[in-house]
Amino acid sequence: MKSLLALNWKMAPEKPTDAIRLAKSVAALSKKYKKNISFIACPPFVHLAAVAKASKAFRVGGQLVAADSTEAQTGLISAGMLKASGAQYCIVGHSEARARGENNEVVAQQIARLVEKKIIPIACVGERARDTQGWYLSEVKDQVESILSALPRAALRQLVIAYEPVWAIGVRAERVATPAECREMIIYIRKVIADTCGAKASESVTIVYGGSVDEKNARTFLTEGAAQGHLVGRASLDVKRLGALAASLIT
């Protein structure tokens, strides 16, 4: 099975020419590792159409979508707009979006809008902190169950879940998460899916790791952490770092 690398470009690059240049670099990596890795590039919406046209070597996705499809949503992006711009995927529930106020109900509505347009959600889940009593498991359980509530059973086979431990990412990270911790949570996420939708459905969902990784530890999260790929943030904007990370997954 191929590893999945979903590239979250966040709020960069600023210029369309730089976005196209980066897209061409991703295309080169996608062609080089086509037997082992599937790439999805998720640029800012202003670059989405240009990136989608720049290369057919990889798939493209959005970073956000409106929860409501009515037109009176100033500044937001509808699922229809994403589809028309070439998006096949869209990130929802990212910790940065949740920090801005999105909650499980909003994420579920976003997923419903994406499914209506046949766009595959890359749904992020993860605990904000860990406690010794294991209450953090209920936080992730609520997130997963909310995602499942918005998905028709047939759409589960295409769902991508990104496990991102919020406490282990970004400049305020407490520490780096371990592959063992990743494995624990992925097993738990699959159990929640199995309890709701059945074991067969649980095994059909792709689960990637959305924590901070580099070429030194990325493969370990696949071999020991049970992840099927990665949701990569800042490293996806650096071609050399991304290339090294991709190479590490197959060695």
Q: For the segment 63-73, what is each residue's pLDDT rounded down to a tens digit?
A: 999 999 888 89
* Helix axis angle, 104-116 to 136-149, nearest 10°: 30
**CATH at 143:** 3.20.20.70
| Domain of residue 64, residue span | 3-248
Give the tens place of pLDDT for each residue, 126-170: 999 998 888 999 999 999 999 999 999 989 999 999 999 999 997
Q: What is the pLDDT of residue 59?
A: 98
What is the number of structural domains in the chain?
Answer: 1
The pLDDT score that the predictor gives to residue 251 is: 72
In this prediction, the residues of the chain whose per-residue pLDDT falls under 50 are none
Active site annotation includes 94 = yes
Could you confirm whether 181 is annotated as catalytic?
no
Strand partners, 89: 61, 120
Task: Name which of 71, 81, 98, 22 is nearest 46 in CA terms.
Answer: 81
What pLDDT does 171 receive? 73
Give residue 210's pLDDT: 96
Give the pLDDT score at 175: 87
**Residue-wise over 18-54: b if at least 16 C-beta within 10 A, else e?**
ebbebbebbbebbeebeeebbbbbbbbbebbbbbbeb
**Which entry of 94, 96, 102, 127 is annotated as an active-site residue?**
94
Q: What is the pLDDT of residue 174?
A: 82
CB atoms closer than 10 angstroms to residue 196: 16
Are the C-beta atoms of 46 and 59 separated by less than 8 Å? no
pLDDT of residue 54: 87
Apex 40 CA angle, 39 and 43, nearest 5: 135
Model pLDDT, residue 46: 98
Q: What is the pLDDT of residue 71?
A: 87
Q: What is the pTM of this model?
A: 0.97
Active-site option among 96, 102, 127, 164: 164
Alpha-carbon distance of 192 to 142, in angstroms, equals 9
